[in-house]
Structure 1
Amino acid sequence: MEQIYTIPVNEAFEASASDASCGCPLCTLYRKLEENELELILGASMMEPDVRIQTNREGFCRLHYDMMFVRKNRLGMALTLESHLKELKDEIRDGGLGAPGARPVKRIAAMEESCYVCRRIAFNFEHMAETVVYLWDTDEKFPAKLEAQPYFCLPHYRKLLEYGQKRLGRKKQAAFASAVGRVVNAYMDSLTEDVSWFCKKFDYRYDEEPWYNSKDAVERAIRFLRSDIHVRDAGKPGGKA
């Protein structure tokens, strides 16, 4: 597995193992990929011809348009949009041998389903998730790092289990699933208790009781259930992570 993936995976797992507030290490990796792609598309990559061809074809989802917009590089966005609009103008013009409206319907539908940033994130994130399994299998120090994680959110728990099924033999697959499951189940037990205690604190009979670890239980439950990453307007994580 290329070091381009093993290094950031190790760094994210080490950070979460030493500081539980970092949360799910795969969410951290996803957010870092997203940040890197947004920086590149409004910076060094913006004027590269091969990148411009791809952004003209794919465009961006509304989420990533919004995230680019708040970075205050309006000229960078305008240059990208100018090129994209000029190409789209011809591609959605009706005409030809098909039914009336068929050409714009097809092109706009394709545009609505595509995003240059989401695709780039998804490509690299899949390799990073696979790298977790690879490191667990080949690096004798990594299993301890994995079991020292505060938690894995449920969507990324599923992702790890799927790559364990793809990469590992049956015996190792069971051991990997058990190791990841221990992290998730332990966190789910404590989180459930925290959410229950949060609810009880709204009962007057518990007014004098301490909050313990429940004050942010609702926020933590949401992050655990649906990941701590930005969500596309279609209701799916960018790149279907």
Structure 2
Amino acid sequence: MKESIYTIPLMDAFRSEDECPFCFLERQIEEHSIDFVLGSGASYMEDDIRAQTDAAGFCRHHYKKLYDYGNRLGAALILSTHFHKLNAELDTEIKKFTPGKSSLMKRFKKSGSEDAPATSIGQWVQSQTSHCYICDHIRSDYERYLDTFFELYKKEPSFKELFENSKGFCLTHFGDLADLADSRLGNKEKDAFYPALFQLMQENLKRLEDEVLWFTEKYDYRNRDKDWGTSRDSIQRCMQKDRGGHPADPPYESDR
């Protein structure tokens, strides 16, 4: 298969021996995105990039990441134009806002019982908070990596071997692979893929169960002098396997 900007990082992620190669990739994408937004390349000074960050904004999680990164001036410049846009749009929304007519049924409805916002202001807020410049970038690249995964699986024996010898995936990415394989693979390919995927998950979830159990048993005085084995970092690896990410990572900071 011809190499692309997605094949090499994907192969490297499977060679990393991470608990989930796709979590490994998402961390790389996220860090590259933060560097792009606030790093030394000063993309935040480019009008087209600022227009995109003004429009999408950032989620709570990535605002914290951007704050930890350390470029205060860059963050302030991004926020200055983003808030200029927010204020202009809020003024427009408030001017055209009209409350809905009250009714007995509305009064008896539980708060949050419906997904759709009840007012135009609620709809506007939902539109503002449903996007994040970095989340959107991660999601887009992740989808391309999933496509590349199945292309490599079908065409590259060496990649299939990497997959079969990996530590499996976090539950979220395991679910994505199980769902997508149904439409991306032929019947014969599914007959090989699903048993391999399921065996990987069962073996590696059991491995982590044993490791974190030994972590707890090491606190028994009778095991004080016994070897920790691979259990010392089992807590964060179990957390990753269950919900993804790398919970023990320190804040990602600018190298300036």
What's the TM-score, normalizing by structure 2? Answer: 0.78
One of 36, 41, 58 as aligned partner of 1:40: 36
Equivalent residue number for residue 226 of structure 1: 243
Q: Greater CA deviation, 204-213 or 220-229?
A: 204-213
1-side partners of 2:229 and 2:76: how far apart?
A: 50
Task: Give the deviation of 1:103 after TM superposition.
Answer: 4.5
Pairing 1:60–2:77 present: no
Pairing 1:7–2:8 present: yes
Equivalent residue number for residue 185 of structure 2: 168
Q: 1:36 to 1:186 in 2, by over 3 A?
A: same
Counterparts of 1:27-176 in structure 2, within 5 Å, are: 27-42=23-38, 43-93=41-91, 94-96=94-96, 98-99=98-99, 102-176=119-193
**Does the Cα contact within 8 Å between 1:130 and 1:160 map onto a contact in 2?**
no
Question: Could you report, residue by residue, the CA deviation over 1:160-181 in whole angstroms, capped at 9, with x for unpaired residues?
Answer: 2222122111221231122222
Q: Identify the structure with bigger relative contact order (alpha carbons < 8 Å, sequence gap 6+).
A: 2
Secondary structure, aligned partner of 2:153: helix
Task: Give the deviation of 1:111 after TM superposition.
Answer: 1.7
One of 11, 20, 26 as aligned partner of 1:24: 20
Question: Could you report, residue by residue, the CA deviation over 1:136-188 in whole angstroms, capped at 9, with x for unpaired residues?
Answer: 11112111111121332222111222221221112212311222222222212
Q: Which runs of 5+ in 1 are unaligned?
A: 231-241
What's the TM-score, normalizing by structure 1? Answer: 0.83
Secondary structure, aligned partner of 2:127: helix
**Does the Cα contact within 8 Å between 2:97 and 2:120 map onto a contact in 1?**
no
Matched residue count: 225
1-side partners of 2:4 and 2:175: how far apart?
A: 24
Question: Could you report, residue by residue, the CA deviation over 1:74-118 in whole angstroms, capped at 9, with x for unpaired residues?
Answer: 121111111111111111121126438945433222222221110
Q: 1:178 to 1:150 in 2, by over 3 A?
A: same
Secondary structure, aligned partner of 2:169: coil
Who wins on radius of gyration, i.e. which is larger? 2
Identity of aligned residues (%): 34
Quote the RMSD (CA, aligned, Å).
2.4
Equivalent residue number for residue 238 of structure 1: none
Secondary structure, aligned partner of 2:95: coil
Question: Could you report, residue by residue, the CA deviation over 1:34-57 in whole angstroms, capped at 9, with x for unpaired residues?
Answer: 011111112443233333222212
